[in-house]
Amino acid sequence: MKRAKGIAAVLLAASAIMMGAGPADAANIAVVGGKNDDAFWNIIKKGLDDARLVVQANGGSVNYLRLQTYDNFAPDVVQLIRTAISQGVNGLVIPNWVPEAEDPAIQDAIKAGVTVILMNAGGQDKAVKLGAINYVGTDEYIAGKAGGEYFAKHGKKNVLCVNTIPGAANLEARCKGVIDGITKQGGAAKQLPLPATSFGDPTAVAEAIKATLLQDANIDGLITIGAGDADSAAIGITQAGKTQSVMLGTFDLNQSGLDRIKGHTQGFAIDQQPYLQSFLAVTLLASAIDFGTDLPTAPVLTGPSIVDASTINATLAGVKKGAR
């Protein structure tokens, strides 16, 4: 986190003096992202908008290409990559959500002379394989491990990782990290894989958590793979009468979770800091295009950042500014 903030500060400071690039050699960047009504990707937009000021200061431009729906996900993402190529961009920031569909299109962009940074999904190994210059985002296993270590540090011995989409590689990595993190500190953890039908069903998730807690009195920590599931978990914990004994944690942020942390009814949340993902990806890419800079740090990790009682006020201030 400190490293990412340091990079951001350097980039902002540098923008005041890096005025030599003209329109002919300026960065023309396309960023592919999620829907307009997706809160996570609106935080990404905030980072992009702030980064745009740096790019424009040097005569460049940034275009945010957003999915309209998630109903035809992979083909629509590929189409946005193709759109960026057809627009003649020289830079592309792209999440590698669906590698089997996206990889050929990303490789076509690179063959066309487009400089690429992977953001949010894909990882550094895939960036190297494709020929992208870096990956900016989170490492799900490392984030999970930080969560497991947090539980252990706060005296928890038996943790449950609730997975509402079992089989999804990134979410499995989150739970595996939690399990490894607390196990290495002398505790124990296991995954609770719920049926796929429970995803998006708050009642089903709350009932499953309640039943599990009542069956296993040793559980003293519980973490969900997403902020929405934490809302359900809070209900399940309350219904099981375990609010005083079970610490709740989650991956990612939402307002209700932040309110619980502020009110001391949730222990923590693990934030991948989407604002930094887009801000750093765009400014690093623009600098590479405009000035030939080469950042030796790869990947550039924007998380995990732990939000708990000690950091909640600063986080809420960021929320008011649209950056958390």
CATH superfamily of 140-271: Response regulator (3.40.50.2300)
Residue 4 has pLDDT above 80, yes or no: no
Residue 12 has pLDDT above 80, yes or no: no
User: Which residues make Cβ contacts (< 8 Å) with residue 24, sequence separation at least 6?
Assistant: none
Query: Would the CATH topology of 2-138+273-303 be identical to that of 140-271?
Result: yes
Mean pLDDT of the chain: 91
Round to whole Å and give the CA distance between 201 and 109: 39
Phi-psi region of 292 (alpha: psi -120 to 50; beta: other; left: phi over 0): left
Q: If you average pLDDT over residues 154-166, what whole number do you get?
A: 95
* pLDDT computed for residue 282 by the predictor: 97
**Predicted model pTM:** 0.81
Beta strands 28-33 and 305-307, pairing class = unpaired
* pLDDT computed for residue 37 by the predictor: 82
Residue type, 16: A
How many Cα atoms sit within 13 Å of 230 on the Cβ side?
A: 28
Q: If you average pLDDT over residues 240-269, what whole number do you get?
A: 96
Residue 141 has pLDDT above 90, yes or no: yes
Residue 3 has pLDDT above 60, yes or no: no
Q: If you average pLDDT over residues 275-286, what whole number do you get?
A: 97
Question: N- to C-terminal Cα distance for the chain?
Answer: 14
Round to whole Å and give the CA distance between 61 and 58: 9
Round to whole Å and give the CA distance between 266 and 302: 23
* pLDDT computed for residue 171 by the predictor: 86
Residue 65 has pLDDT above 80, yes or no: yes
* pLDDT computed for residue 198 by the predictor: 78
CATH superfamily of 2-138+273-303: Response regulator (3.40.50.2300)
Residue 64 has pLDDT above 60, yes or no: yes
Give the model's confidence band at 146: pLDDT under 50 very low, under 70 low, under 90 confident, else very high: very high
Residue 272 has pLDDT above 70, yes or no: yes
Residue 194 has pLDDT above 50, yes or no: yes
Give the model's confidence band at 21: pLDDT under 50 very low, under 70 low, under 90 confident, else very high: very low
Residue 177 has pLDDT above 50, yes or no: yes
Residues 72-113 have pLDDT tens digits of 888 999 999 999 999 999 999 999 988 889 999 999 999 999
* pLDDT computed for residue 169 by the predictor: 78
Q: If you average pLDDT over residues 170-194, what whole number do you get?
A: 95
Pair 145, 112: CB distance under 8 Å: no
* pLDDT computed for residue 24 by the predictor: 52
Pair 63, 31: CB distance under 8 Å: yes
Both structure tokens of 145: 């491990």
Cα separations (Å) of 165 from 199, 271, 318? 7, 19, 29
Q: If you average pLDDT over residues 232-257, what whole number do you get?
A: 96
Domain ranges across the chain:
2-138+273-303, 140-271
